[in-house]
Amino acid sequence: MSSNTPESLVELHSLTFGYGDRVILDDVSLSVPRGKVTALMGASGGGKTTILRLIGGQNRAQKGQLLFDGQDVTPMDQAQLYAARRRMGMLFQFGALFADLSVFENVAFPLREHTDLSESLIRDIVLMKLNAVGLRGARDLMPSEVSGGMARRIALARAIALDPELVMYDEPFSGLDPISLGTAARLIRHLNDSMGLTSIFVSHELEQTFAIADHVIILANGKIATQGTPDQVRQSTDPLVYQYVNALSDGPVRFHYPGPSIEEDFGLGAVAAQRSQRRRLVS
């Protein structure tokens, strides 16, 4: 990295985004370190996938800046945005493979769409990418013939087909069995380091995320609750972070949805009977 190269590949500066009156991200500032693996975590609906969509330009910030390699994505026109996206790879939740294309053709798709490479060179690149995820032998299968874990790896091969600088993963561990989950986690780490990538992924899976991430950001209520190394996040004294990291059912994120009191809904007699029944069960 030269002295003029920013340490962060992606930066959010005082960014605000929402839908109508609902604010998803409220004056958020964060950095994604270049060459590292960054995890976005937090309760559902906290804005994690929204950040990926903002980076890719599917959504545009309403206030603030989103910089990709020093360039603000928000005001980019279509040509500029497409040029930026060619430097990004995206692994969608559950893979999002083209059902009517073979494994080989799925991985070849971005190469055919965005390059003028010869068919022989496309073949070599596709087989190299499939080999990197352990599925070169599955090249002729259809998506319906592979498992969920294999589909995720095929989608990863497609995401890295154009040798991007940034790879984004939207819940790459969702719905995987323990073997496939561990394989996916190791692949994210290995490909990031061996290909010199910058990786950012959304996850709810604590153990594997903390095992492979260099930097963890936890979002809550439209803000950043905490960020740092996995060890720093584990040691956070913030009540919401503590609840999340320890998977507690109650805390700042309440188990019960706000509503009328028990007394208002059932009356005092019903409440007394309920408490009496609890005491009998305990005894």
Residue 93 has a pLDDT of: 67
CA nearest to 155, candidates 133, 175, 185, 173: 133
Give the residue-averaged pLDDT of 5-24.
87
CA nearest to 27, candidates 214, 216, 170, 219: 219
Question: Which of 40-44, 72-76, 82-86 has the lowest average pLDDT?
Answer: 40-44
Helix axes 103-114, 148-159, angle to 10 degrees: 20
Query: Is the model's pTM score more than 0.85?
Result: no
- How much of the chain exceeds pLDDT 90, in percent? 33
Give the residue-averaged pLDDT of 69-84.
90
pLDDT tens digits along 219-232? 888 889 889 999 99
Residue 66 has a pLDDT of: 93
β-pairing, 223-228 with 88-91? unpaired
pLDDT tens digits along 139-170? 899 998 988 888 888 988 998 888 899 999 88
Residue 256 has a pLDDT of: 60
Distance between CA atoms of 9 and 32, rounded to whole angstroms?
6
Distance between CA atoms of 52 and 168, rounded to whole angstroms?
7
Cα angle: 184, vertex 188, 193; to 5 degrees: 145
Burial 155-166 (b: 16+ CB within 10 A, else e): bbbbbbbbebbb
pLDDT tens digits along 240-262? 888 778 777 666 666 566 677 66
In this predicted structure, the answer to whether residue 273 has a pLDDT above a threshold of 70 is no
Domains (ranges, CATH) in the chain? 8-282 (3.40.50.300)
Residue 250 has a pLDDT of: 65
- CA dihedral over 55, 61, 64, 65, signed as positive or negative: positive
Burial 239-277 (b: 16+ CB within 10 A, else e): ebbbbbbeeeeeebeeeeeeeeeeeeeeeeeeeeeeeee
